[in-house]
């Protein structure tokens, strides 16, 4: 896949995974096409973050943003937020389908808040979500996928479909979702079914010491403007991901972050149950 990029200052678009109720189709969305940068007329621009709003000061982060145009003309932004895990506190918060990502960010001393994992038909969080000793949602063997765990400043991606898996209890953070997009530095998606969606993913690199958050987001109002899961996986591999876990996506994909001068947000297109907070 041929990829060229363009950095966009003070802006970004987001990624993502696939489910919630609207996300199952997105998670399913495996597919890829050659990717290039195309700034020619006639292409709709990816979504622009909400105007910066000045709020109480706090820690900031500057995303690395690429505008990607695929061979068929599909265009979206791929944004990366990088965290050194030994210097980062990860948490999960229950938005209860009421709180916004921007609201959650402003209520915390956080640099970034993104959409989290899935929820089931009863609107309960689905898949293990744990912060220290607090468990917001239990392990789900039926969900499968993977569990990204962090302990002592180092992250690992566990195989939640391993029948012998014994999830450690002495963890700082754990998030289950599906699928595992990258395993051992290689693409873990078997085929490309062409289904497009906005996507969010957690990517481990540098032996698990660094966590990259990737958000891919297009301008489709239903959240179907991002890459296929297959293409997304290829992009993560090419950018050095050693292990990557897909989070909820499609209409759920969203983020809010603090940068110099204020807060920026890409609001999800649906209400969310859980959000992940990076301090």
In a domain, 1, yes or no: no
pLDDT at 58: 82
CA-CA distance, 118 to 16, in Å (whole number)? 12
In a domain, 12, yes or no: no
In a domain, 11, yes or no: no
> Closest by alpha carbon to 174, among 155, 205, 137, 149?
149
CA-CA distance, 37 to 167, in Å (whole number)? 42
- 10-residue averages of pLDDT along the chain (279 residues): 39 39 48 42 52 64 96 96 98 97 93 98 97 97 98 98 93 99 99 98 99 98 98 98 99 97 95 98
Lateral strand order in the sheet of 210-217: 35-36, 64-70, 75-84, 210-217, 199-205, 243-246, 180-183, 186-187
Phi and psi torsions of 155, nearest 5°: -105, 150
pLDDT at 53: 52
pTM given for the model: 0.82
In a domain, 64, yes or no: yes
pLDDT at 7: 40
CA-CA distance, 130 to 179, in Å (whole number)? 18
* Domain boundaries, position 189: 23-278
pLDDT at 108: 84
pLDDT at 18: 38
In a domain, 8, yes or no: no
Domain tally for the chain?
A: 1
In a domain, 185, yes or no: yes
> Closest by alpha carbon to 151, among 135, 174, 167, 134?
174
In a domain, 77, yes or no: yes
In a domain, 15, yes or no: no
pLDDT at 269: 97
Bridge partners, residue 67, by sequence: 77
């Amino acid at each position: 896949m041929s990829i060229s990029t363009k950095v966009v200052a003070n802006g970004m678009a987001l990624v993502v995974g696939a489910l919630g109720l609207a996300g199952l189709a997105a998670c399913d969305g495996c597919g890829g096409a050659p990717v290039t940068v195309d700034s020619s007329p006639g292409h709709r621009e990816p979504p622009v973050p909400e105007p910066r709003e000045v709020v109480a000061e706090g820690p900031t982060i500057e995303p690395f943003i690429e505008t990607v145009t695929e061979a068929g003309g599909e265009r979206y932004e791929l944004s990366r937020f990088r965290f050194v895990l030994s210097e980062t506190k990860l948490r999960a918060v229950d938005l209860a389908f009421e709180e916004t990502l921007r609201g959650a960010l402003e209520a915390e001393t956080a640099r970034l808040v993104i959409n989290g994992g899935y929820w089931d038909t009863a609107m309960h969080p689905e898949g293990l979500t744990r912060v220290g000793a607090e468990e917001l949602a239990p392990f789900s063997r039926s969900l499968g996928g993977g569990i990204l765990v962090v302990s002592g400043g180092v992250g690992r991606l566990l195989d939640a479909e391993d029948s012998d898996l014994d999830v450690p209890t002495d963890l700082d953070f754990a998030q289950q979702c599906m699928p595992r997009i990258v395993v051992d530095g290689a693409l873990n998606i078997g085929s490309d079914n062409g289904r497009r969606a906005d996507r969010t993913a957690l990517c481990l690199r540098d032996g698990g010491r660094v966590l990259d958050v990737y958000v891919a987001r297009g301008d489709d109002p239903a959240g179907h403007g991002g890459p296929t899961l297959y293409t997304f996986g290829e992009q993560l591999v090419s950018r050095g991901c050693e292990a990557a876990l897909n989070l909820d996506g499609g209409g759920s994909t969203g983020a809010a972050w603090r940068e110099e001068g204020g807060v920026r947000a890409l609001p999800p297109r649906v209400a969310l149950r859980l959000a992940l907070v990076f301090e």
